[in-house]
Amino acid sequence: MEVANRFLSETDNLPLQIENTLSSPRLISEFSANNMRYMVVAIEQQLDEQYIDQMLNSFFHEQAIFEFSRVDDFQVNNCFCFVVEVPDEVTPSQPDLAEILTARELQVAALVAKGHPNKQIAKRLRISEWTVATHLRRVFAKLNVDSRAAMVYRCAGCIQNVDLEKLQAQSR
């Protein structure tokens, strides 16, 4: 009930647009609380528990959500609403960073991870400092980060196995 009360208190000023002519479950809201994700689903009329479970199963399977649990239920405008806990959204299979970044960008990221400043990276790769900075800007944009530390964090799994010599040969 606490979750439903929180939902209702957070949406006091928002008109709940729940139509009385619902023929199947309808998502009316989503929210997060206590590191959990919740969905509020409305059903037109009071039904027996077994039929409600069947309707919710069908509804969530259409949404590609196969694990969920009913947390609470309440009534609004003659519609029966169910608060359902669902798994956190997982980003759809993030592409491998090796597919996103070029060989040279991986080299630069690996050298940054080893603590090298741009000047040393430029000397080691035999490119200008400006080019190193350009590679870093492109990596930051591709990974949606804004610092060297964030880039290293995002690339950690990929760059720990980077063979710098092999990449250097590929990028020539």
Q: Report the domain count for the chain.
A: 2
d(CA 155, CA 111): 12
| Residues spanned by the domain of 67 | 2-86
Please state the rounded mean pLDDT for residues 50-63. Answer: 82
Helix (H, G, I), strand (E, B) or coil at 14: coil
Please say if the pLDDT value at position 20 is more than 50.
no
Across 90-99, average pLDDT: 58
pTM of the model: 0.44
Q: How many residues in the chain? A: 172
- Position 62 pLDDT exceeds 50: yes
In this predicted structure, the answer to whether residue 76 has a pLDDT above a threshold of 50 is: yes
d(CA 145, CA 138) in angstroms, rounded, equals: 10
172: confidence class by pLDDT, cuts 50, 70, 90 = low
Q: Which residue has the tokens 């290293």?
A: 152
Give domain status of residue 91, yes or no: no
Max CA distance (Å), the chain = 73
3-state secondary structure of 137: helix
Q: Reply yes or no on whether the pLDDT at 25 is more than 80.
A: yes
Q: Any idea what the CATH number is for the domain that residue 73 is in?
A: 3.30.200
